[in-house]
A and B are shown apart, each in its own frame.
Chain A
Amino acid sequence: GAVVSQHPSRVICKSGTSVKIECRSLDFQATTMFWYRQFPKQSLMLMATSNEGSKATYEQGVEKDKFLINHASLTLSTLTVTSAHPEDSSFYICSARDLRGSEQYFGPGTRLTVT
């Protein structure tokens, strides 16, 4: 089956610093990748949709200058949380959709804690 990896799985950073999270599709090419955020006991919230080689589309209320997304290749997308604050602490999950189908394959998630 299709595999999506995320790195790092956990990260703790200080307030004001930036953190980069990588999402890779390991055995398929992903034209579209999605970034989600999930707070405890809540459902997934779509932050943005990124298509390879073009700018990401952000959902309403998500600051594009704070959450920088780069989808430079068909197998890699990165999310950079800039000037992180404690309220950015959350579980960040990426998913990827391959060229053929409509199913999304999820990465294992990255737990970000901002102190």
Chain B
Amino acid sequence: GQNIDQPTEMTATEGAIVQINCTYQTSGFNGLFWYQQHAGEAPTFLSYNVLDGLEEKGRFSSFLSRSKGYSYLLLKELQMKDSASYLCAVLDSNYQLIWGAGTKLIIKP
């Protein structure tokens, strides 16, 4: 079966750095996405990785290792507005998105 694993909840302090991990087992791989979702809102796109390595975009970076079936989202200089759920999703061989359950990130002052 297809499976995406990420922690259910994480807590971090304002101004700090947090890394949210995602491991996946899917039938084929055509890229991995990270989305941010605030409560009551639709997801918004953060990053897309299809090749191994680190993609940096401002305070957010995303890393992918296809051989390990592993990705992480790194958030730096955390702000209170970063409190949200972060969803990892993999595009499988049929170009269907397989979703993780999401990681709820709580930022404390």
Complex contact A102–B30 (CB within 8 A): yes
Q: Given the known A-B contacts A43-B101, A43-B102, A44-B87, are A102 and B95 also in contact in the complex, defined by CB atoms under 8 Å?
A: yes
- The one of B41, B45, B96 in contact with A49, judged by C-beta atoms closer than 8 angstroms, is B96
A109 touches B42 (CB 8 A): yes
Chain A, range 41-77, C-beta contacts under 8 Å to B? 42-44, 46, 49
Q: Is B48 interfacial (CB 8 A cutoff)?
A: yes
**Are the CB atoms of B41 and A43 closer together than 8 Å?**
no
A112 contacts the other chain (Cβ, under 8 Å)?
A: no
Cα A106 to Cα B91 with chains together (Å):
15
A105 vs B102: C-alpha distance in the bound complex, in angstroms? 18
Main secondary structure of the interface of B (DSSP, over half): loop
In whole angstroms, what is the CA distance A67 to B22 when docked? 32
Contacts of B99 in A (CB 8 A): 43-44, 46
Q: Decide if A109 touches B41 in the complex (CB within 8 Å).
A: yes
Smallest CB gap from A32: residue in B = B95
A109 contacts across to B, CB distance below 8 A: 41-42
Q: In angstroms, how far is the closest chain A Cβ from the Cβ of B44?
A: 7
Question: What sequence of 0s and 1s flags, for each residue 2-31 of chain A, a beta carbon within 8 Å of any chain B beta carbon?
Answer: 000000000000000000000000000000
* Interface residues in chain A, defined as those with a beta carbon under 8 Å from any beta carbon in chain B: 34, 42-44, 46, 49, 91, 93, 97, 102-109, 111
- A-B contacts, 29 of them at CB < 8 A, read A34-B97, A43-B99, A43-B100, A43-B101, A43-B102, A44-B87, A44-B99, A46-B96, A46-B97, A46-B99, A49-B96, A91-B40, A102-B30, A102-B31, A102-B48, A102-B91, A102-B95, A103-B45, A104-B97, A105-B45, A106-B35, A106-B42, A106-B43, A106-B44, A107-B42, A108-B41, A108-B42, A109-B41, A109-B42
